């Protein structure tokens, strides 16, 4: 389980794909700040694949008689390192084959 230190907020894109249509382990990610690349990563950084991380979590919940509910959003783990940002910065994350999400920071 993560320490939740870098996931106090998250963005969800509008493109949804079926799990069997996209290899999460091969997902290439580029994070930019103000148009300058800050960090990159791949899905393999998350226990070999975000799908493997989710399977582990679901199995652990199942051992306790618990599970996930339909529509619930679960973060599988960080593909890139966290980066600092300040008011005025614009952060963009691009995931190969899925698209991009961006946000601007205000004071």
- Helix H, strand E, coil C: the string for the chain is CCCCCCCCCCCCCCCCCCHHHCCHHHCEEEEEECCEEEEEEEHHHCCCCHHHHHHHHHHHHHHCCCCCCCCCCCCCCCCCCCCCCCCCCEEEEEECCCEEEEEECCC
pLDDT at 1 over 50: no
Q: Where are the domains of the chain?
A: 19-104
For 43-68, write each residue's pLDDT tens digit: 999 999 999 999 999 999 999 999 99
**27-40 confidence digits (pLDDT tens):** 999 999 999 999 99
Class of residue 92 by CB neighbours under 10 A (exposed 0-12, middle 13-18, buried 19+): middle
pLDDT tens column, 9-18: 777 778 888 8
pLDDT reported for residue 74: 85
């Amino acid at each position: 389980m993560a320490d939740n230190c870098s996931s106090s907020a998250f963005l969800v894109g509008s493109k949804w794909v079926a799990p069997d249509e996209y290899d999460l382990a091969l997902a290439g990610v580029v994070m930019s700040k103000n148009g300058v690349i800050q960090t990159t990563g791949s899905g393999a950084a998350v226990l070999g694949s975000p799908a493997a991380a989710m399977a582990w979590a679901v199995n652990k919940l199942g051992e306790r008689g618990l599970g996930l509910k339909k529509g619930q959003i679960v973060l599988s783990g960080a593909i890139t390192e966290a980066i600092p940002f300040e008011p005025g910065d614009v952060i963009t994350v691009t995931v190969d084959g899925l698209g991009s999400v961006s946000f601007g920071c205000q004071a």
